[in-house]
Amino acid sequence: MLLTQIARFIIGFSWLYHGLFPKLLHIDPIEKMMTASLGFSDEISYLITKAAGVGELVFGLIFILFYKNRTVVWLNIVGLIGLLFFVIVLQPQLLVGAFNPVTTNIPLIGLSFILLESKSKQRL
Protein backbone atom coordinates (compact mmCIF):
# COMPACT_ATOMS: atom_id res chain seq x y z
CA MET A 1 0.00 0.00 0.00
CA LEU A 2 2.87 2.39 0.71
CA LEU A 3 4.14 2.11 -2.89
CA THR A 4 0.66 2.93 -4.15
CA GLN A 5 0.53 6.06 -2.03
CA ILE A 6 4.02 7.13 -3.12
CA ALA A 7 3.07 6.69 -6.79
CA ARG A 8 -0.24 8.50 -6.22
CA PHE A 9 1.33 11.57 -4.66
CA ILE A 10 4.33 11.79 -6.99
CA ILE A 11 2.08 11.71 -10.06
CA GLY A 12 -0.48 14.09 -8.56
CA PHE A 13 2.22 16.47 -7.33
CA SER A 14 3.84 16.51 -10.76
CA TRP A 15 0.57 17.59 -12.43
CA LEU A 16 -0.04 20.21 -9.73
CA TYR A 17 3.49 21.59 -9.90
CA HIS A 18 3.62 21.74 -13.70
CA GLY A 19 0.24 23.44 -13.82
CA LEU A 20 0.97 25.99 -11.11
CA PHE A 21 4.57 27.14 -11.50
CA PRO A 22 5.58 27.13 -15.18
CA LYS A 23 2.09 28.01 -16.44
CA LEU A 24 0.11 30.02 -13.90
CA LEU A 25 2.41 31.78 -11.45
CA HIS A 26 5.24 32.33 -13.91
CA ILE A 27 5.00 31.42 -17.58
CA ASP A 28 8.23 29.66 -18.41
CA PRO A 29 9.74 30.73 -21.77
CA ILE A 30 9.72 27.10 -22.93
CA GLU A 31 5.97 26.89 -22.27
CA LYS A 32 5.48 30.05 -24.30
CA MET A 33 7.68 28.67 -27.09
CA MET A 34 5.67 25.43 -27.18
CA THR A 35 2.31 27.14 -27.68
CA ALA A 36 3.77 29.75 -30.03
CA SER A 37 5.12 26.93 -32.23
CA LEU A 38 1.49 26.06 -32.97
CA GLY A 39 1.24 29.38 -34.83
CA PHE A 40 -0.83 31.31 -32.30
CA SER A 41 -0.32 34.98 -31.44
CA ASP A 42 1.36 35.93 -28.16
CA GLU A 43 -2.00 36.76 -26.61
CA ILE A 44 -3.60 33.45 -27.61
CA SER A 45 -0.46 31.52 -26.59
CA TYR A 46 -0.68 33.18 -23.18
CA LEU A 47 -4.33 32.15 -22.79
CA ILE A 48 -3.64 28.58 -23.96
CA THR A 49 -0.77 28.28 -21.50
CA LYS A 50 -2.90 29.58 -18.63
CA ALA A 51 -5.76 27.22 -19.58
CA ALA A 52 -3.33 24.30 -19.73
CA GLY A 53 -2.11 25.24 -16.24
CA VAL A 54 -5.65 25.21 -14.88
CA GLY A 55 -6.28 21.89 -16.62
CA GLU A 56 -3.16 20.37 -15.10
CA LEU A 57 -4.13 21.60 -11.63
CA VAL A 58 -7.60 20.10 -11.99
CA PHE A 59 -6.23 16.81 -13.29
CA GLY A 60 -3.65 16.67 -10.49
CA LEU A 61 -6.43 17.00 -7.91
CA ILE A 62 -8.58 14.46 -9.73
CA PHE A 63 -5.64 12.05 -9.83
CA ILE A 64 -4.90 12.41 -6.12
CA LEU A 65 -8.56 11.91 -5.21
CA PHE A 66 -9.48 9.19 -7.73
CA TYR A 67 -6.19 7.32 -8.23
CA LYS A 68 -7.98 4.02 -7.62
CA ASN A 69 -10.05 4.52 -10.75
CA ARG A 70 -8.36 2.70 -13.63
CA THR A 71 -9.78 5.17 -16.16
CA VAL A 72 -8.10 8.09 -14.38
CA VAL A 73 -4.77 6.23 -14.36
CA TRP A 74 -5.13 5.39 -18.06
CA LEU A 75 -6.00 9.04 -18.82
CA ASN A 76 -2.78 9.97 -17.04
CA ILE A 77 -0.76 7.54 -19.17
CA VAL A 78 -2.39 8.70 -22.42
CA GLY A 79 -1.94 12.35 -21.45
CA LEU A 80 1.73 11.92 -20.63
CA ILE A 81 2.36 10.04 -23.88
CA GLY A 82 0.47 12.74 -25.79
CA LEU A 83 2.48 15.52 -24.18
CA LEU A 84 5.71 13.67 -24.97
CA PHE A 85 4.74 13.32 -28.64
CA PHE A 86 3.73 16.99 -28.66
CA VAL A 87 7.32 17.86 -27.75
CA ILE A 88 8.78 15.32 -30.20
CA VAL A 89 6.84 16.88 -33.08
CA LEU A 90 7.00 20.59 -32.20
CA GLN A 91 10.22 21.10 -30.24
CA PRO A 92 12.42 17.97 -30.49
CA GLN A 93 15.49 19.87 -29.31
CA LEU A 94 13.92 19.91 -25.83
CA LEU A 95 14.37 16.13 -25.59
CA VAL A 96 18.11 16.39 -24.98
CA GLY A 97 18.10 19.11 -22.32
CA ALA A 98 18.17 18.71 -18.57
CA PHE A 99 14.86 17.79 -16.93
CA ASN A 100 13.25 17.06 -20.27
CA PRO A 101 9.94 15.29 -21.03
CA VAL A 102 11.69 11.95 -21.45
CA THR A 103 13.09 12.05 -17.93
CA THR A 104 9.81 13.26 -16.42
CA ASN A 105 7.02 11.63 -18.43
CA ILE A 106 8.43 8.11 -18.74
CA PRO A 107 8.99 7.66 -14.97
CA LEU A 108 5.47 8.99 -14.31
CA ILE A 109 4.10 6.51 -16.84
CA GLY A 110 6.05 3.77 -15.04
CA LEU A 111 4.53 4.79 -11.70
CA SER A 112 1.11 4.69 -13.35
CA PHE A 113 1.68 1.09 -14.40
CA ILE A 114 2.66 0.30 -10.80
CA LEU A 115 -0.73 1.68 -9.73
CA LEU A 116 -2.53 -0.39 -12.36
CA GLU A 117 -0.64 -3.51 -11.31
CA SER A 118 -1.39 -2.95 -7.63
CA LYS A 119 -5.09 -2.60 -8.48
CA SER A 120 -5.12 -5.87 -10.41
CA LYS A 121 -3.43 -7.70 -7.51
CA GLN A 122 -6.02 -6.30 -5.08
CA ARG A 123 -8.77 -7.96 -7.11
CA LEU A 124 -7.28 -11.46 -6.72
What are the mean pLDDT values of the chain's consecutive 10-residue runs (124 residues total)?
94 98 95 90 94 98 97 98 96 93 97 92 64
pLDDT at residue number 123: 64
pLDDT at residue number 124: 42
pLDDT at residue number 1: 73
CA distances (Å), 49 to each of 21, 33, 34, 46, in order?
A: 11, 10, 9, 5
Positive or negative torsion for Cα 55, 47, 85, 22:
negative
Region for residue 41 given its phi and psi (left: phi exceeds 0; alpha: psi -120 to 50; beta: otherwise): beta
Give residues with Cβ within 8 angstroms of 60, minimum separation 6: 12, 13, 14, 15, 16, 19
pLDDT at residue number 122: 75
pLDDT at residue number 32: 87
